[in-house]
């Protein structure tokens, strides 16, 4: 009787463990997908900000399933004073970034990725640091789709991509690059 009960208990433990493991393995796949008109936005993420940093990048993937171009023109967030759409490029071997004054075009049938080393959202004048595991609410503004609310999943300081994604082969940490300090705001 004792032995039987013990065996039953260990089966329960095994089931609970398997369920938890399945949950953790599945977690990245459950990343938020936001639909706004013809746009589908996925993999919105950011990085934890090291002590005192006042800026953070925001990264996401925007797919335009419609037949007309749209344009990401800006955004806002409670955590930051301003949210801008930036472009990063290498000019004469130096990484620089600049705000896209006319926004970022999302052509019909295309997918545009905002990722480290390229287009990104810039959260300026952070009111509080971003911590790993946080979900930071951001409102994006599109020319056609209008305002779209989503949240950035905050990854570790050195993260190169959203949870569950592999190394994307992009340049090193943005914090080591010049540009933000001399940027006009
Ligand atoms: Cu920037």
Q: What is the SS3 assignment for 117? A: coil
Neighbour-count burial of 135, counting CB atoms closer than 10 A to its CB (0-12 exposed, 13-18 middle, 19+ buried): middle
Q: How far is the CA of 83 from the centre of ligand 1 (A)?
A: 10
Residue 132 CA to ligand 1 centre (angstroms): 20
Alpha carbons 61 and 109: distance in angstroms, whole number: 13
pTM of the model as a whole? 0.73
- Which residues, by Cβ under 5 Å, contact ligand 1, an ion? 86, 97, 122
- Asked whether the beta carbons of 91 and 178 are under 8 A apart, the reply is no
- What secondary structure letter does DSSP report for 87? E
pLDDT confidence of residue 54: 95
Q: What is the pLDDT of residues 122-138, one digit of tens each?
A: 999 999 999 999 999 99
């Amino acid at each position: 009787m004792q032995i039987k009960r013990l065996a039953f208990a260990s089966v329960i433990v095994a089931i609970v463990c398997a369920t938890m493991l399945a949950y953790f393995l599945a977690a990245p796949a459950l990343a938020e997908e936001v639909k706004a008109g013809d746009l589908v936005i996925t993999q919105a993420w950011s990085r934890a900000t090291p002590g005192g940093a006042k800026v953070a990048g925001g990264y996401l993937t925007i797919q335009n399933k419609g037949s007309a171009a749209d344009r990401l023109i800006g955004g806002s967030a409670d955590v930051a004073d301003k949210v801008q759409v930036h472009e990063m490029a290498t000019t004469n071997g130096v990484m620089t970034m600049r705000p896209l004054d006319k926004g970022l075009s999302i052509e019909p049938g295309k997918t545009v990725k905002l990722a480290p080393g390229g287009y990104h959202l810039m959260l300026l004048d952070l009111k509080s640091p971003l911590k790993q595991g946080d979900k930071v609410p951001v409102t994006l503004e599109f020319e056609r789709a209008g305002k779209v609310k989503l949240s950035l999943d905050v990854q570790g300081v050195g993260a190169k991509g959203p949870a569950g994604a592999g190394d994307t082969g992009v340049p090193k940490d943005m914090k080591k690059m010049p540009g933000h300090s001399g940027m006009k705001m």
